Chains A and B, each alone.
Chain A
Amino acid sequence: MITKLCPLIMLFAALAPGQGFDIKRLDWLSASAHNTVDVTLEGPLLQLAAKFLSSNDPDEAKIKKLVVGLKGIYVRSFEFDKEGAYSDSDVATVRNQLRAPDWSRLLDVRSKHDGENIELFLRTDRENGGLAIIVANPKQLTVVQILGKIDLEELSELGGSLGIPKIEVEKASKAPAKKEHEE
């Protein structure tokens, strides 16, 4: 009985609305990577981190303001010595979790020249906003997921602080502009 129910439960879990994606599925890649960045901040720990940000420092104050609406920040970055350490299917397991209607792909840049693929996803739900970035190089894979109410204007205001560049982002609309380009 349980064995019959398991696939059903997994299916419901996968289709559950308002969920982010399971970034931990990539963790096994750390075994073959020579450099790994693993950032997982959510709930109380995220708010605790925000408490330690200084309000007197202008840069930290901006981040502190931004973090208030966030529910989680997850980053996985793997640098490999040689190409082919991960497959397209590994990236696909992450990408497939970022599906409509919760997530919409804002940007997809594929470079045949250097084999780089950059994808930017946005969660349009006002209550459960979010941002996801997948950058796949032959020797590097970086996945960033920011969950929660994320004000793109505030994010753009982070330009220049912490080495975060100024990015021009249009005001979030109900149906964000989708730009795909294949080089």
Chain B
Amino acid sequence: MSHLEDQLKSALGRKEPAEDFAARVLRRVTEPAPRSWLDELTILLRPPRLQWVAASVVISIVVPFAAVQYRHEQQIRVQGQMAKQQLMLGLRIAGTELHHAQQQVQRISRMENQ
């Protein structure tokens, strides 16, 4: 009888846990539970939320429009710069030729005065 009591006492006696037991428990608690492939599939096939659908639609409209608008503005900027260069060149030539004509007139006037 006493042998049985000893065995029970030994089996039910208080045992101290390992030193890293608390840390291991806490780590398991914070870790997300691993999902099975079925869970992954379910998440993938779940209908999207309305706000995400709305956001996707807005982005798909706004982004191409903005890109086209940006490209158009770039083209106008390039065209405008080229036109400005042409304008400057045209006026430079016009001015040079006017100056040349003026010089010729002055030269002739001087010759007439002499």
Q: Are the chains A and B members of one assembly?
A: yes
Q: A residues touching B (Cβ–Cβ < 8 Å)?
A: 37, 39-41, 45-46, 48-53, 63, 67, 73-75, 77, 107, 109, 111, 116, 118, 120, 131, 133, 135, 142, 144, 146, 158, 162-165, 167-168, 179, 181, 183
- Give, as a whole number of angstroms, the nearest-CB distance from B42 to chain A: 59
Q: Give every chain A residue within 8 A of B7 (Cβ-Cβ).
A: none
**Separation in Å of the A94 CB from the closest CB of chain B?**
14
Q: Which residues of A contact B91 (CB under 8 A)?
A: 63, 73, 158, 162, 164
Residues B92 and A164 in contact, CB atoms below 8 Å apart: yes
In the complex, chain B residues whose CB is within 8 Å of the CB of A48: 76, 79-80, 83
Q: Which of B89, B92, B93, B101 contacts A120 (CB 8 A)?
A: B101
- A163 to B92, Cβ gap below 8 A? yes
Option from A45, A77, A111, A183 in Cβ contact (under 8 Å) with B93: A77
Name the CB-closest residue of A to B93.
Answer: A75
SS class, residues of chain A in contact with chain B: strand
Pair A135/B97 contact, Cβ less than 8 Å: yes
* Bound-state Cα–Cα, A50 to B87, Å: 8
* B53 at the A interface (CB under 8 A): no
Q: Once bound together, how far apart are the Cα atoms of A6 and B42, in whole Å?
A: 78
B72 interface residue per 8 A CB criterion: no
8 interchain residue pairs of minimum CB distance: A164-B95, A49-B83, A165-B99, A39-B90, A52-B84, A49-B87, A52-B80, A73-B90
Q: Beta-carbon contacts of B63-92 to A below 8 Å, as 1s and 0s? A: 000000000000010011101101111111
A45 to B87, CA, bound (A): 10
Chain A residues near B105: list those with CB within 8 A: 107, 109, 179, 181
For B96, list chain A residues within 8 Å (CB).
163-165
Nearest CB of chain A from residue B98's CB, rounded to whole Å: 5
CB-CB nearest in chain A for B101: A118
Q: Which of B80, B88, B101, B108 contacts A133 (CB 8 A)?
A: B101
Is A39 within 8 A of B86, CB to CB?
yes
B92 to chain A minimum Cβ distance, whole angstroms, is 5
Q: Are B87 and A46 in contact, CB atoms less than 8 angstroms apart? A: yes
- Residue in A73, A109, A181, A183 whose beta carbon sits within 8 Å of that of B87 in the complex: A73
Query: How far is B104's CA from A107's CA once the two chains are assembled, in angstroms?
Result: 11
What are the residues of chain B within 8 A of A50 when measuring CB–CB?
87
Contact B94 A109 (CB under 8 A): no
Q: Give the docked Cα–Cα distance between A15 and B64 (Å).
A: 51
Q: Out of A52, A142, A162, name the residue touching B81 (CB < 8 Å).
A: A52
